[in-house]
Amino acid sequence: MLVKFGALIALLPLVAAQCCVSDLPFGYTFSAPTDWVSGEPASLTWTASIGDPTQFAIILNIYNQTTQQADQWVLANYVESCACYASFTLPDVPPASGYDLIPSVTT
């Protein structure tokens, strides 16, 4: 599952989220984060589906219009799927809309 954010993530809290289906081979559904502030502690919850990997990484992603590439930050690595909760410190990221959370298999 891919969660799209239509809010600022920097010095402003993350206030809106919109779920959408992606072609990723996972069934994770992330909760809509609220009050996320760049450089500050944050947490995230999710549900997992049968067949999801036992561990995964949580990636913050945004498409950079200037470089025409995705900018990505690893928020948490080697997260246990069954935990359904992770806490981490958000990286310092530029204010923008269109951030996504992407689950990624850890190797």
pLDDT in tens, 53-71: 899 999 999 998 889 899 9
**For residue 93, what are the CA distances in angstroms to 2, 37, 89?**
19, 9, 12
| Residue predicted with more confidence, 72 or 5 | 72
Confidence of residue 45 (pLDDT cuts 50, 70, 90): very high
Average pLDDT on 87-101 reads 89
What pLDDT does 59 receive?
Answer: 94
Range of the domain at 30: 2-105
Alpha carbon distance 86, 93 (integer Å) = 19
Predicted TM-score of the model (pTM): 0.73
**Total domains in the fold of the chain:** 1
